[in-house]
Amino acid sequence: MSQEQATRYPIVLVPGLLGFVKLVVYPYWVGMVPALRRGGATVIPVMVSAMNSSEIRGEQLLGRIDEILRETGAAKVNLIGHSQGALTIRYAAAKRPDLIASVTSVAGPNHGSELADFFELRFPRHTARGRLLNAALLFVGWVMHRLDTGYRGTRLPTDLDAAHHSLTTAGVALFNRQFPQGLPQIWGGQGAEQVNGVRYYSWSGTLQKGRTNRVLNLLDVTHISCQIFARTFTKERGQSDGMVGRFSSHLGTVIRDDYPLDHFDIVNQSLGLVGKGANAVALFLEHAARLKAAGL
């Protein structure tokens, strides 16, 4: 077996909003876990509340990290978070940097999501359409919980309003004032590579005409959704993955912010139906090799 991805510390994968471990037989991180394990890495996808604040999710993650360290005998873990998972792992690293070797944000709304701002403005929770949207999301979350065969723990608490606020520009700005580790000092810049002994990395994608909307992605419902959602962006119009803006995703060392991948493609969802020339699994393999080379 290859050892190219055999990092010193276990890799812990943390999902975003409405996240899961495995829906019946369909994993959140499509193809990632077996590929990394073939490369020698210890990889553990975890579950936190599918809908809740980044702080609550972060506390849940810290509890899970304690369990992982006891189970593996490792001193630290490498955290990789997708979407809101990026905020979740940032919280954990800020609270317990002694337990975290690295934080990697994958399409993380590290400065908030313009899509979340749009829904807050157009679907206020006290209005009929806001209540209808919330009811629909809560139902989806309930169904996904019932179908999640990869998580066997107790049911985790749900707070949709807290989850939504945690993703808005205002909500993330408040979060960032408390947990600024790894954030760029200037818009669109790079952040500190290392803070309190923790290495910070990020990468993300953008919708690109003629690239992300080609081949099998034309049949991908999640990709079509991202194309529709991208129309809500103003500050980063034409520079988003459909849910998170290119520069809003920056954290620590920015590996790249314009992969031809939408918000779901970047973790290889929709059974790997991605745009032409894109390979999300390869990005994770390359990053594990990067972590290994850094002694992490």
Q: By C-alpha distance, which of 138, 137, 169, 178 is closest to 55?
A: 178
Which single residue is written with the structure tokens 């972590």? 291
- Residue 286 neighbours by CB under 8 Å, 6+ apart: none
Q: Rounded to an integer, what distance in angstroms lies between the CA atom of residue 165 and that of residue 232?
A: 17
Q: How confident is the model at residue 138 (pLDDT cuts 50, 70, 90)?
A: confident
Nearest Cα neighbor of 249 from 265, 260, 263, 267 is: 263
pLDDT digits 0-9 by tens, 25-56 = 889 999 999 999 999 999 999 999 999 999 99
Q: What is the DSSP letter of 78?
A: E
Cβ-count burial of 198 within 10 angstroms (0-12 exposed, 13-18 middle, 19+ buried)? buried
Is residue 100 within 8 Å of residue 93, measured between CB atoms?
Answer: yes
Backbone angles phi, psi at 234, to 5 degrees: -120, -55
What's the start-to-end Cα distance of the chain, in Å? 20
Indicate the pTM of the whole model: 0.94
pLDDT of residue 2: 75
**Bridge partner list, 12:** 44, 79
83 is catalytic: yes
> Would you state the structure tokens that stand for residue 109, as one six-digit string?
């709304």
Q: Which band of pLDDT confidence, cut at 50, 70 and 90, is reported for residue 152?
A: confident
Residue with tokens 């993330």: 172
Topology of 11-293 in CATH?
Rossmann fold (3.40.50)
What whole-number distance in Å separates Cα of residue 123 and Cα of residue 140? 18
Q: What is the pLDDT of residues 212-235, one digit of tens each?
A: 666 666 667 888 889 999 999 999
pLDDT in tens, 170-192: 999 999 999 999 999 999 999 99
Q: What is the pLDDT of residue 221?
A: 82
**Residue whose structure tokens are 């972060």:** 58
What are the angstrom distances between the C-alpha of 210 and each of 61, 215, 234, 264, 276?
39, 10, 22, 18, 9
Looking at residue 174, what is its pLDDT?
97
Which candidate in 49, 53, 54, 83 is catalytic?
A: 83
Catalytic residue among 117, 148, 241, 262: 241
Q: What is the mean pLDDT of residues 151-162?
A: 86
Rama region for 24: left / alpha / beta (φ>0; ψ in -120 to 50; rest) = left
272 pLDDT above the threshold of 70: no
User: Does 122 have pLDDT greater than 80?
Assistant: yes
The catalytic residue among 263, 265, 270, 287 is 263
How many whole angstroms separate alpha carbon 213 and alpha carbon 244? 17
* Segment 87-100 mean pLDDT: 98
